[in-house]
Amino acid sequence: MKQLIFALPIIFSSICITAQTSPNGLNIGVYYSIDQNTGVDRSPTGDWTGYINDYDELNYSFGLKIEKAVNNHFTINSGIGYSDKSYIATYYCMVCDLNAFPPEEIDLEYLEIPVSLRYYIFDNSKFNLFGDIGFLNQIALKTDQEQNGYIISGKVGAGIDYVFTEKFRIQLSADYVNGLTDAFSELNYKTQSMAYRLGIDYSL
């Protein structure tokens, strides 16, 4: 199932989708990103116990976006999407007789609602550069493993915008996402990642 979820946005994104030489009016689109988990290597639960974290699993995000121009340089961005931040954790205990615990998959899946302010450097250019700053509202889709049902993360990023046709534009960007609240009620762990995103927008 995860392989299917991974493949479909790539196929869909290869069709290419904002318009005008700089964003103007209202734009809608889709996005897909590969997310590199950059979280902490260890999550202690005490002086001698905790979890060793392994981030070899594929993390990704995809969804719908909306962009509203404020002027020729600034836009407000939002949307709704799905993200998978799962990873593998292995419990350790340095004072236990048995110190060989099996690894456990930590299934972190979120419904995300981003809000950000974006600045485009150029006014009238087919090729543009932009910076982006904002936050993510993240609602947990699975609340087992003592997960918090809602967390919030800050994000900052930069990217390239290219006008593909009169109505369509394509964007490539990189975002650093850092959790501002803990993902678990009983564990000091915040989500962190680098997101490499392909976005396709349509100008209304």
Task: Write out pLDDT tens, residues 165-189.
Answer: 888 999 999 999 999 999 998 888 9
Average pLDDT over residues 36-50: 90
pLDDT digits (tens, 9 = 90+) for 139-167: 999 877 688 999 999 999 999 999 888 88
Average pLDDT over residues 115-133: 91
> Residue 18: its pLDDT value, please?
40
Give the whole-angstrom CA distance, residue 109 versus residue 128. Answer: 33
Going from the C-alpha of 203 to that of each of 29, 66, 98, the distances in angstroms are 9, 10, 61
C-beta of residue 124 within 8 angstroms of C-beta of residue 106: no
Its pTM stands at 0.82
Give the whole-angstrom CA distance, residue 34 versus residue 46. Answer: 33
Pairing mode, strands 168-179 and 150-163: antiparallel
Indicate whether 77 pLDDT > 80: yes
Decide if domain 2-10+18-38+59-85+108-203 falls under CATH 2.40.160.20.
yes
